[in-house]
Amino acid sequence: MQTHVDSPTRGYSESDGVVTLRGAGESSCEIYLHGATVTSWRDASGRERLYLSPTAVLDGSAPIRGGIPICWPQFGPGPRWPKQHGFARRLPWALVSAEMKRTEPRAVLRLVDTEETRASEHFPYRFELTLIAALDAVGSLSLVLRVRNTGATAFTFTTALHSYFAVEDASAVQVDGLRGKSYKDNADGLEEKVEQEESVRFEGEVDRCYIGAPDDIRVGVSGVRLKKRGLSELVLWNPFVEKTRALSDMPDDGWRTFVCAEPAAVYPPVELASGQVYDATLDLISPLLTK
Ligand code: BG6
């Protein structure tokens, strides 16, 4: 594709399988065609707001550890190939377009079914997945994940935009607004519990899927604000000390500098009839704009 420079600071480009958008102020975003994984989002101040593991595998041979991998057609472990978090984050997506909409750069990436995806007895369906990534007039990152059932048979899926946020100290981060919400505790055999605390803290392993979570959540008291639609759940994850050691693509102390807050659609799975389209959206807003 051609590089477009709209002004000295705004535009888009693609090089070696990485799409770069440059928007308002110092804002920018990088998206790997591998998995359509957003690996970087800098807000208008130029500050990186996403965590990417320094040992992430970026050659397409594995899902990318960090940024915003797309879990589809399955969140978590489950019956579908290849078990954990589905196949969308493991496959190369196509770049459909990159353009300026007025002064705002956006890119459209797509994945459709292949012989390989259809070969799975658990997901033999025809589909079209589209990711639309854009930087808006103030440098916020806006993502739309569009799922289209292009086959004759209905299917169900679960999904998550598995967002890794960069933080200075995970154990000092709190997420508010979940009190009274039910959650499945994946650090405790998926037992269903009810959140009793005003603030969820990351002082040990956290691996929870909050059911029917608010659509407007802040990661930390002064962190990024995320607004979601079509993604009723929120997964909070930090592997803490022991489980981080088991991750081959993260340094042992990696857990300290990120928390995952993952908008998801899990309970119940989304059912899509032939020809139907489902949109999930996520807006990430800089804390500098929402003080
Ligand atoms: C989270 C899950 O969404 O992703 C965790 O809740 C899981 O249980 C984590 O460990 C990372 O998964 P993966 O497959 O990228 O190592």
pLDDT score, position 198? 95
Q: 33 C-alpha to center of ligand 1: Å?
A: 21
191 in catalytic set: no
| Atom of ligand 1 minimally distant from the CA of 262 | 3
Angle formed at CA 205 by CA 199 and CA 211, multiple of 5 degrees: 55
pLDDT mean across residues, the chain: 95
> What is the distance between the alpha carbons of residues 180 and 286, in angstroms, rounded to a whole number?
27
Which residue of the set 162, 195, 242, 271 is catalytic? 162
pLDDT score, position 152? 97
Q: Is 156 in the pocket of ligand 1 (CB under 6 A)?
A: no
Each residue's pLDDT tens digit, 127-148: 999 999 999 999 999 999 999 9
Each residue's pLDDT tens digit, 152-202: 999 999 999 999 999 999 999 999 999 999 999 999 999 999 999 999 999
Q: Is 207 in the pocket of ligand 1 (CB under 6 A)?
A: yes
- Residue with the two structure tokens 């709190």: 174
> What is the distance between the alpha carbons of residues 212 and 132, in angstroms, rounded to a whole number?
24
Where do runs of H (alpha helix) occur along 25-143?
115-118
Q: Is 228 in the pocket of ligand 1 (CB under 6 A)?
A: no
Chain centre to alpha carbon of residue 189: 24
Q: Is 235 in the pocket of ligand 1 (CB under 6 A)?
A: yes
| Atom of ligand 1 minimally distant from the CA of 209 | 6
